[in-house]
Amino acid sequence: MSHSHHHDHGTENVSDAALLWAVGLNVGLSVFEGVAGALAGSVALYADALHNFNDCAALLIAYFARRIGRARPDARYTFGRRRAELVGALINLTALIVVGLFLIKTAVMRFASPVEPLGGWIMIASLIALVVDVGTVVLLWSMSKGGLNIRAAFVHNLTDALASLAVLGGGAAIYWRGWNWVDPAISLLIGGYVLFTSFGMMRQTAHILMEGAPDHLDLDHLCVAVEHLDGVENIHHLHVWQLDEHHTALEAHIVVQANQLPQGHALLERVRTLLEQKFDITHATLELETSAHPCGSTERYPAHHH
C-alpha cells in the first residue's frame, strides 16, 4: 500500500534487540522476586513477580506481533497483517485480567490468615526490582508512541516501577513499624490497578477488531462535507472501519446528477482529496451512481449483503 509511509509512528526504527533485552531483564527479575517473595513470606513481592512475568509475556507477544505485522500484503492477506499487534494486545490483556483477579484473591486470603513477612528482605528485593523496572521503562520509552501493543508493554513496565516503589514502602513499614497488613494491602492495590488499566485498553482493542469507526470521526460531519462538494447529490451505503490504530478505510456510494457523469472521475478525485485532507482517510473505495439509476438501497449504513 502506497500510503503507509505517512503513518510510521516511530515503531519501525526501534530495534527488536531493545525489546528482547527488556524481555531478558524481566524474566530474570520475575524469578528473583518470586524466590525473594517465598523467603520473605511476602504476597506483595509475589504480586510484583507475577505482574513482571506477565510483562515478559507482553513484550514477547509485542515482539512476535510486530514481526508478523511487517509482512507485505499478499493474495491471502490483502490488507497485510497489521492486526497481528491487536490480536497480541488482546491475548496479553486477557492474561493481565487473570493475573489481576489472582492477585486480589491471594491478598484477600492473606488478610484472612496473616503471616509475618520479613521487611528487610522485601526492601532489598523491591529496590533491585525498581532498578530493573526503570531500566526497562527507559528502553521502551522510545517505542511507547507506537502501537497499542508496545504501549501496553510500556504501561505495564511503568506500573511495575510504581508497584516496586509501593512494595519498597511496604517493606519499610513492616521493618520499622511492624505493620504486617501493608503487605497484602499493596498486593490488593496492584491487582486492582492491573484490572483497571486492562479493561480500558481491552475496550479500545476490541473496538478496532469489531471494525468500529474511529472514536474521533464524526460521520454526520463527513457526509455533510462530501455532499457540499459541487455535483454530489448524496452519499450513502457508507462503511467506515479501522484497519489498525493508524489506518482508516471507507467505502461508499456517491450519487451525482446524470449530466455530471462525464466528469465522474474528477469528482471522485475531489471526494478522495477531501477524505484524505480533512478526515485522514487514505483508503477509500467509492462507487459512482446517478439518481436516475440508484443501487436500490438509499440507507446511509446498510447491512452488508453477500
CA angle 33, 39, 40 (to 5 degrees): 85
The pLDDT of residue 145 is 63
Tens digits of residue pLDDT in 89-117: 888 888 888 888 988 888 888 777 777 77
Tens digits of residue pLDDT in 204-238: 888 888 888 888 889 999 999 999 988 888 888 89
Closest CA to 49 of 30, 36, 63, 22: 30
The pLDDT of residue 135 is 79
The pLDDT of residue 305 is 52
Q: Which strands make up the sheet holding 248-256, listed edge to edge? A: 232-242, 248-256, 283-290
Residues of the chain under the 50 pLDDT cut: 1-13, 306
Rounded Cα–Cα distance for residues 266 and 198 (Å): 47
CA angle 83, 88, 91 (to 5 degrees): 130
Rounded Cα–Cα distance for residues 284 and 80 (Å): 17
The pLDDT of residue 3 is 40
Residue whose entry in the numeric block shows the C-alpha cell 531483564? 25
The grid coordinates listed for 4 are 503507509
Task: Give SS3 for 105.
Answer: helix
The pLDDT of residue 42 is 78
Beta carbons within 8 Å of 76's beta carbon, 6+ residues apart = none
Domains in the chain, ordered, with CATH?
Answer: 2-209 (1.20.1510.10), 219-290 (3.30.70.1350)
What's the residue count for the chain? Answer: 306
User: Please, are residues 186 and 47 in contact by the beta-carbon 8 Å criterion?
Assistant: yes
